Amino acid sequence: MLCDANGTPLRFLLSGGQASDISYAQPLLDEVSIPSNQPGRPRKRCKWLLADKGYDAETLRRYCDQYRMQPVIPMRSMKRKPKPGLPRLFDGPKY
C-alpha cells in the first residue's frame, strides 16, 4: 500500500502470501498519481520514499535515484560489501 504524508492510501496491490513485498514496490510506484491543491495534472513521483527495512534493496534505491526521489529506508543489519562512492545516509527524524 502506498500512502501520502497524512496516511491517506493512494494505491495498493494485492499479492500472494508467499510473494516478496519488494518485488511489487516498483509497479506500485509506477501507477500512482499524487493529488495536489494546485491546478494541472497530478504528480507521478513523490519527493521522499519512506519504507521499512524490508525494502532496503539496491534496485529500489537506483529506481529512486532515476526519478529524483529521496529514499528514507533504514539499512538492514546484515553485513554487506561496501559500494563505491558516497555512503547512503539515513534521515532518522524524517523516518
Q: What is the pLDDT of residues 24-71, one digit of tens each?
A: 888 888 888 777 777 877 677 888 888 888 888 889 989 998 988 888
β-pairing verdict for 2-3 and 9-11:
antiparallel
Q: What is the mean pLDDT of residues 66-95?
A: 72
User: What cell does 51 get?
Assistant: 519504507
Tally of helices (H runs) and strands (E runs) in the chain: 2, 4
pLDDT score at 1: 83
Task: Report the run of H or E that residue 59 belongs to, with start and end.
Answer: helix 58-66
**Which residue ranges make up each domain of the chain?**
2-72
pTM of the model: 0.72
CA angle 16, 20, 28 (to 5 degrees): 85
Place of cell 526519478: 67
Residue 29: Cβ within 10 Å count: 19
Q: What is the mean pLDDT of residues 77-91?
A: 63
pLDDT score at 82: 60
Q: What is the mean pLDDT of residues 69-85?
A: 73
